[in-house]
Amino acid sequence: MTHMSTEAELNLGKDALQEAREYEVKQKREENEILDMRMEYGHLMSGYMSLVNMFWVGYGAFFTINSLFATALGVSYSQNAQSMSPSFLFLVHLLIPMAGMFISACAIYAAILITTNLILVATRGRELEVKLRSEIFRRMHIHKFPGWTTVGALFFAALWLTTLFAISPWPSLSCDKASKEVLQIRILCN
C-alpha cells in the first residue's frame, strides 16, 4: 500500500528541508570564519615577530652607528688628522654630533612606530584568541610606550650635545687688514 502525502505534509517536508539547508549554510559559514581566523592568526603572529625583530635590528644599527661616529670623531682629534684643513676638521667636529643627535631622534620615532604597530597586532590577536581558544597574545606583556629606548636614545643625544659644545679649537679665520676693512665684521676671529 502506498501512502499518499497530503499537501500539509509536503509543506512540512519543504520547511524542514529549507531549515536543514539554512543550518548547513550557517555551519559552513562558521567553519569558514574559523578557518579565516586561523589563517589571520598565523599572519598576525609572523607580523608580530617581524616587528620584534625590527626592534633588535634597530638596536644593533643604533649602537653600530653611534660607535662609528664616536670612532670617526676620535680619529678626527688624532695627531694625523691635524694635517687636514682646520675648517674641514671643524665641520667634521660639528656634523658628527649633529648626526648623532639626529640618529637618536630617529631611534625614538622608529621605536614609537614599532610599538604602535605591535599594540595593533596584539589587540587583534587577542580578539581572535577569544574565538580560537588560544592564549599566545593574551600572555604577552605589551608595552604601550618604548620608555627605556627613549631614555637610552636621549642619553646618547645628550652625549652628542656635550660633544658638540666641547668642540675645540673653534676655527679662527685669518683676517688681514684688507679683509677687515671690506667686511667691517670679524666673524669667528680671535
Q: What integer is the mean pLDDT of 53-74? A: 94
Query: What angle separates helix 86-132 from helix 147-165, to the nearest 10 degrees?
Result: 180
pLDDT of residue 10: 60
Q: What is the DSSP letter of 79?
A: T
The pLDDT tens digits of the residues spanning 141-151 come to: 888 999 999 99
pLDDT of residue 40: 93
The proportion of the chain whose per-residue pLDDT surpasses 70, expressed as a percent, equals 81
pTM, full prediction: 0.73
Asked if the structure places residue 190 within a domain, the reply is no
Cis peptide leading into residue 169 (ω within 30°): yes
Instruction: State which residues form the domain around 33.
Output: 7-183
> The C-alpha cell of 61 is what?
644599527
| Confidence label for 172 from pLDDT (cuts 50, 70 and 90) | low
| Confidence label for 157 from pLDDT (cuts 50, 70 and 90) | very high
Q: How far apart are CA 112 and CA 107, in angstroms?
A: 9
Asked if the structure places residue 2 within a domain, the reply is no
The dihedral region occupied by 84, where left means phi > 0, alpha psi between -120 and 50, and beta the remainder, is beta
Cα distances (angstroms) measured from residue 110 to each of 46, 89, 143: 19, 31, 15
Domain count across the chain: 1
The pLDDT tens digits of the residues spanning 13-62 come to: 777 778 888 888 889 988 889 999 999 999 999 999 999 999 999 999 99
Sequence letter at residue 68 = L
Asked if the structure places residue 30 within a domain, the reply is yes
Sequence letter at residue 132 = L
Q: How far apart are CA 125 and CA 132, in angstroms?
A: 10
Q: How far apart are CA 40 and CA 25, in angstroms?
A: 22
Asked if the structure places residue 189 within a domain, the reply is no
SS (H, E, C) 132-170: HCCCHHHHCCCCCCCHHHHHHHHHHHHHHHHHHHCCCCC
| Confidence label for 190 from pLDDT (cuts 50, 70 and 90) | very low
Mean pLDDT in the chain? 85
Asked if the structure places residue 26 within a domain, the reply is yes
> The C-alpha cell of 51 is what?
616587528
Asked if the structure places residue 79 within a domain, the reply is yes
Asked if the structure places residue 113 within a domain, the reply is yes
Asked if the structure places residue 188 within a domain, the reply is no
The proportion of the chain whose per-residue pLDDT surpasses 90, expressed as a percent, equals 52
Q: How far apart are CA 56 and CA 169, in angstroms?
A: 38
